[in-house]
Amino acid sequence: MIDPNKIAPENLPDKDKVYFHDYSTLVQQQGMLQDSVRTSIYQFAVLENKPDFAGQTVLDVGAGTGILSFFAARAGAARVYAVEASGMARHAEKLAGANGLGEVVQVLNKRVEDVQLDTRVDVLISEPLGIALVNERMLESYLWARDNLLKPGGKMFPDRAVLYAAPFSDDALYAEQLAKCTFWCQTNFFGVDLTALRDEAQAFYFSQPVVGPVAPQVARALPAHRAPAERHATAPAVAALAAAYQGV
């Protein structure tokens, strides 16, 4: 059973409180689960590679509702540790029991960096990919789990990520972002002229990432790519990449 005291925000480091609070809501988790492309690809990867999971010990880094842990259990894993630092852990445990997986899936309500196991696991599974790959800084925790909790030669799902980048021009997206600034174009907002802040507002809106698909025809060049995250990547290298993107 989960210790309810460990769910309390005061037991998390200050830098993690806001991050883990965001992931503790069912609304946030619903949005991720409803990403049918992502969810179905993970299910396919696990169930099409059952020999990698059958009879094995699996650790799910940042388990959320436990969906990946459940896939692993149904692929025949002997034990799955679903590691989730936020309050979502109690929901994951409830779902595991309701789906008859409570004997296989053990929910650990803590950061993966705080997990201690008697023996290392055979398989790591996680969904650690943020905006521009590194935005959520989850990759570093995933790599920590690789270095400290995975057996030598153990399996990782995923074990490689490739980042593609290409310049593009989308008139509709540009107009959509520009429209967000119209509020600050008012010269008589309850008697106050707001236009002095219009340029700063525009700079802010155009500095924010926009998450979503773009049509291939708006690309202005072929994409460049690099593989900053693969099985032998180091956490400092990923941290340096994240810092570089923060300055873009």
* Residue 124 φ/ψ, nearest 5 degrees: -110, 140
**Class of domain 4-161+227-246 as given by CATH:** alpha beta
Q: Where do we find the tokens 């998390």?
A: 12
Tens of pLDDT along the chain (248 residues)?
Answer: 554 444 444 554 544 554 555 666 778 778 888 888 889 999 999 999 999 999 999 999 999 999 999 999 999 999 999 999 999 999 999 999 999 999 999 999 999 999 999 999 999 999 987 666 766 668 888 999 999 999 999 999 999 888 888 999 999 999 999 999 999 999 999 999 999 999 999 999 998 888 778 888 999 999 888 765 566 777 676 666 666 565 44
Global pTM?
Answer: 0.76
Q: What is the pLDDT of residue 8?
A: 46
Q: What is the C-alpha separation between 29 and 32, in angstroms, rounded? A: 5
DSSP assignments along 155-182, one per residue: EEES-EEEEEE--B--HHHHHHHHHTTG
Q: Which amino acid is at 149?
A: L
Q: Where do we find the tokens 């210790």?
A: 3
- Annotated domain spans of the chain: 4-161+227-246, 167-218
Under 8 Å between Cβ of 121 and 154 = yes
Question: In the chain, where do the E strands start and end?
Answer: 57-61, 79-83, 105-108, 121-126, 150-157, 160-165, 224-230
Under 8 Å between Cβ of 147 and 231 = no
| Three-class SS state of 194 | coil
Under 8 Å between Cβ of 58 and 77 = yes
Q: What is the pLDDT of residue 9?
A: 46
Q: What is the pLDDT of residue 96?
A: 97
Question: In 53-110, where do the E strands start and end?
Answer: 57-61, 79-83, 105-108
CB neighbour list of residue 132: distance below 8 Å, 6 or more residues apart: 163, 209, 245
Q: What is the C-alpha separation between 141 and 59, in angstroms, rounded? A: 12
